[in-house]
Structure 1
Amino acid sequence: MGVVRIGQTEVAFELRRSAAASERRITVTPGHVEVLVLTTDDDAEIDAFLTRKRQWLFNTLRELEAVVTKRAVVPRFMTGSKIPYRGRMAKLTVRRHDGPHIEIAFKNGFVVDLPTWVRGEDQDGIVATEIKLWLKRRVRRDVMEIAAAYRRRFDLKPRTIRVADMKTGWGACGPTGAILINWTLVFAPKAVLEYVVAHELVHLKVRSHGPDFWAALAEIMPAYHRAKAWLDLNQGALDDDFLTSAQGRRRVW
């Protein structure tokens, strides 16, 4: 641990060297400061970097303290909050960094890095928006990978397949073979998402929900019953109310 003095205040920080880093960086979360430096940096270069960033660090720490104090009663999109993802609640960590862009990653939980230009009063909305965009990108990737695997194995070829906001239902297969998948399935276990994709792919061959349909689904996904049971039980909880205004509950098929 190192210490940087800002006026009468001493700020402890964790120093981390990285051979992969191309530039130095400071990341701040409530109660923790990390300084990332290059492996070639000596003490003088590190001290000079911290001196240049001293005012930024002071302002960021003061802003984070104000945000934490203001939201201590009802925490939302701040460090320690929980975000539903693939059937479990993932921890959220919101950090401040000295880079120019908002960055988001998933590493045993969501990590959102916010630059200086994000004001404290705007944090909730910005973090919610970034997480929603990340979730939509991830579920699109998953759906395309699942559909590609079933196309190769079972020759099920939709005309198009698209992930979308759906007010009702988890998926749809149009008369021309265009398939829609509800993006909020990203909140369910991945096996449930696979079940919905497989369900709609089978409709390319069997349009109804009669015995022939369920037999065809069992051929390509023998364990679909478990995923269907999970969805039947938990469908009311799979919505984006925590990110946007309430839109009501969805029903499966």
Structure 2
Amino acid sequence: MPTIQIGRAEIAYDLRRSDCATERRITVTPGHVEVMALASDNDDDIAGFLDRKRQWLFNTMRDMERIAASRHAVPRFMTGSKIPYRGRNMPLTVRRTDAERANITYRNGFIVDLPHWTGGDPDQLVASELRHWLKQRARRDVLDIAADLGKRFGLVPRSIRVADLAHGWGSCGPEGNVLINWHLIFAPRKVLEYVVAHELAHLRHRSHGAEFWGYVATLLPAWEGAKAWLDAHQAILAAEFLAR
């Protein structure tokens, strides 16, 4: 494994070359440093890049060691935390990079790459980035579910969007404007499908009478199991992310 000498410290790193990369990148996680180089880079290119990043790498390694030494428990939004997502608690990995912006990827867990300017306690930034990512994913899922139901059953709301709702999981206004609570991204997908189907059913039946529930069953035959899950978990689901 190659190393770089910074003062008295000798830092080992994994070197990876990428045919797709358009810029070089250093990623730092607890106990591990990875350098991503361009496929065309030679040894001098890599050495020059590391020399330019020498001070940043030293400061980042020092900050991570200081944070690890001062923490007696896993922070809320640091490597080792669990983030609820579609009914499961998925692992979180937080990495330091030399990038200008934070970035989130999802591969059987959340990976948050922090920008170089992040301070010593990144909880707030990680939480903000995750919240934005989850809201966007909730919006995409809701639109996909609504589009499928609309295509099959001719249900076209005037508008549909996700939002923070103080009460309830969804609503359908008299003019056909549908709102869905983004916190449903923490529940299994079948639960989100149920809430979207429930609100779209109000385009045909405003009240919760027998005709309404019969129509919900037409839209989503397995709605009862999803509703039961939501009824059983709604007290903790609403605060699942905010309490972390």
TM-score normalized by structure 2?
A: 0.96
Query: 2 CA distance for matches of 1:242 and 1:140?
Result: 17
- The secondary structure found in structure 2 opposite 1:73 is coil
Match of 1:17 in 2: 17
Please give the alpha-carbon distance, in whole angstroms, between the structure 2 residues aligned to 1:151 and 1:10. Answer: 60
Q: How many residues align structurally?
A: 244
Q: Could you say which residue in structure 2 is the equivalent of 1:167?
A: 166
- Equivalent residue of 1:172, what SS? strand
The one-letter code sitting in structure 2 at the alignment partner of 1:102 is A
Distance in 2 (CA, whole Å) between partners of 1:97 and 1:182 is 33
Aligned equivalent of 1:42: 42
Question: CA offsets, 1:120-142, max 9 Å, x none?
Answer: 13x11111111101111110111
- Secondary structure, aligned partner of 2:13: strand
Percent identity between matched residues is 59
Q: Distance in 1 between the 2:17 and 2:233 partners?
A: 45
Q: 1:201 to 1:107 in 2, by over 3 A?
A: same
| Aligned counterpart, 2:92 | 92
Please state if 1:239 is matched with 2:238.
yes
Structure 1 gaps, min length 5? 246-253
Q: Does 1:116 align with 2:116?
A: yes
Decide whether the 8 Å contact of 1:132 with 1:243 is kept in 2: no
> Aligned partners of 2:100, 2:179: CA distance in 1, in Å?
36
Deviations 1:165-217 (A, max 9, x none): 11111111111111111110010011110110000000111112121111111
C-alpha RMSD of matched pairs (Å): 1.4
Structure 1 residue 59, shift from structure 2 partner: 0.3
d(CA) in 1 for partners of 2:74, 2:61: 21
Structure 2 counterpart SS, 1:80 = coil
2: distance between equivalents of 1:38 and 1:240?
44
Matching of residue 134 in structure 1 with residue 126 in structure 2: no
TM-score using structure 1 length: 0.92
Deviation at 1:73, TM superposition (A): 2.4
Segments of structure 2 that go 5 or more residues without pairing to the other structure are none
Question: In structure 2, what residue type is equivalent to 1:109?
Answer: G
Match of 1:57 in 2: 57
- Name 1:250's counterpart in structure 2: none
Counterpart CA distance in 1 for 2:241 and 2:187 is 15
- The whole-number CA distance in structure 2 between the counterparts of 1:242 and 1:65 is 27
Q: Which residue number in structure 1 is paired with residue 157 of structure 2? A: 158
Distance 1:101 1:74 in 2: 24
Q: Distance in 2 between matches of 1:6 and 1:240?
A: 45
